[in-house]
Amino acid sequence: MLADAPVSVGGLARLSTCDWPGRLVATVFCQGCPWSCGYCHNPGLIAPRSRTPVPWSVVLSLLQRRRGLLDAVVFSGGEPTFQPGLRDAVLAVRQLGFAVGLHTSGAHPSRLASVLPMTDWVALDIKAPASRYEAVTGSATSAGRAFESLRLVLASGVDHEVRTTVDPEFLDRAALTTLVEELTSAGVRSFAAQRMLRRDPGTGASVALPEPPAEFLAACAARFPTFAYRSEAPGEQYRRNA
């Protein structure tokens, strides 16, 4: 087991029931992300370094105490594949007997490919149709990286979910129609749409934006054999159709 820190950890959720639906997990929030999406739910994790990092020894200590109590560990972010040591971190977690989940935007396909064989479940965030990607992420290469990662995940045989946060600023009805077509053509069968939240600048509270267009949700339900819609407004529940 590694004594040194393989990844930079910006936060640690000791118990989560929502980061891997149906599982009790601890979530490791990896520091750093190469993209700057305006709706990022964890903007404090975008910078390469955290002002208050969590020592890797704290993560390992928690997991050692929670063996037999937690189902799995999820690596989230930020962007976990931003970390060159992600593979070593995943190996350390697996040595403790935990299943491994991964939340990723697909920003680093080669690193994603290296950890996929050791991963039990992947949530891949596809942010927009290819033509709108740069507007969302601020990166000219982001569409190619994300869709290459999509190809890798679909070919891997690893259990997964492709998901999109519906940002009405960039995803109008035409863009959503194109997105469904691109994902269907790629072979996506498990998809989740997520209602967008904004943080109130005064209170820091999350405020849900209007629901995505009904015709988009209907198209998703018709085109994807497994489809979930998550309305993250306070008090609303995760809803799934399969």
DSSP SS3 for 182: helix
pLDDT digits (tens, 9 = 90+) for 65-106: 999 999 999 999 999 999 999 999 999 999 999 999 999 999
* Nearest to 148, CA basis, from 49, 90, 51, 81: 81
Helix axes 142-156, 173-186, angle to 10 degrees: 40
Ranges of H-type helices in the chain? 56-66, 86-95, 109-115, 133-137, 142-156, 173-186, 214-223
pLDDT digits (tens, 9 = 90+) for 163-187: 999 999 899 999 999 999 999 999 9
- Whether 241 has a pLDDT exceeding 70, the answer reads no
pLDDT digits (tens, 9 = 90+) for 123-169: 999 999 999 999 999 999 999 999 999 999 999 999 999 999 999 98
Helix axes 86-95, 56-66, angle to 10 degrees: 30
Q: How many CB atoms lie within 10 A of CB 110?
A: 11
Q: How far apart are the two ends of the chain, measured CA to CA in Å?
A: 39
pTM attached to this predicted model: 0.90
Complete domains list, the chain, with CATH: 9-241 (3.20.20.70)
Q: How many CB atoms lie within 10 A of CB 95?
A: 12
pLDDT digits (tens, 9 = 90+) for 105-115: 999 999 999 99
Write a three-state SS string for 38-58. Answer: CCCCCHHHCCCCCCCCECHHH
